[in-house]
Amino acid sequence: MIKRFIFLSLVFAAYTSVAQVKVDTLRLYFAINESESETNFRRIDSLITALNGHLIKVKITGYADFLHSNKYNSVLSQKRADNVKNYLLKKTSTVQTTIISCKGNGEKSSKDNGANEGEASQRRVDMIVERLVITETYDNTTSTENNYKKTQNKEPKKIEELSKGESMALEGLNFVPGRHFITKPSVPVLHKLLKTMLDNKSLKIEIQGHVCCTQGDSDGMDYDTHNYKLSENRARAIYDFLVSKGVAADRLSYKGYGHSKPKFPNEATAEEEQANRRVEILIIEK
């Protein structure tokens, strides 16, 4: 799962409006030669329900595996994409939904392994959905003071204080939406992790990437590498940074978990999405 935040400086009285552009990826899989599926239509219905009337922009891309000819697969992948588009437009208003693109990529991403059953992972349609969500927050001195007190009273553990086998999320570490590069405000978090590793020479860790807002255990798409390994690529980016700054590679490992270990299986709020979209540090040795 992939997210983009835009902050609007619209303040009226004590209310602050915050607009978030959220990007979700839905993968729809097909049987051999199949171009439409009731199961996939039900999944689209679930997506529409979850969108709750928000304005959306959608990129639809169809794929086919290596079975049959290039021409056949090109047509088949386009049919899959078109059927998804037509169903989505039938179920939503033209005011609510904008189709940015709808194309079939044929078997371009499929590798012929000679199997009679083809390559199931390539018989699919990817829907990349952008939605704009505007929320309002009410701020006053009392609530601010209370939130501050709560934060002060709950001091999180430091990484070096964790026991072997324990893990913790790197709070404040955020990435550019859909990419494996951290945002500028996250740089101090990364340097704090670096200092911890340099100060604690016996510490060995696994860097674990997690994403939100995808279906099941699936991972998000990385726009830089054009693969669905966003959580792994983000964990690898942290690993590469630490190694480049002098941390021995044998003290580090990294792994992407996609959406397989969410703190909240069905994200209902922005806070739950953020809790799932994270990098964690697991203590391997101390």
Structural domains in the chain, sorted by start: 2-136 (3.30.1330.60), 161-285 (3.30.1330.60)
Task: Quote the pLDDT of residue 133.
Answer: 58
Q: How does pLDDT run across 130-189, given as a tens digit for each residue?
A: 876 555 444 444 443 444 444 445 567 899 999 999 999 999 898 877 788 888 888 999
Helix (H, G, I), strand (E, B) or coil at 273: helix
Task: Quote the pLDDT of residue 139.
Answer: 47
Beta carbons within 10 angstroms of residue 209's beta carbon? 27
Task: Quote the pLDDT of residue 273.
Answer: 77
One-letter identity of residue 197: M
23 vs 2: CA distance, rounded Å:
5
Blockwise average pLDDT, block size 10, the chain, 286 residues: 39 44 85 94 86 81 95 96 93 79 93 90 92 53 44 69 94 83 89 96 96 82 85 95 96 95 81 84 96
Task: Quote the pLDDT of residue 155.
Answer: 65
pTM listed for this prediction: 0.52
Helix (H, G, I), strand (E, B) or coil at 144: helix
Q: Are 188 and 171 in contact (CB under 8 A)?
A: no
> Residue 186: left if φ>0, alpha if ψ -120 to 50, beta else—which one?
alpha
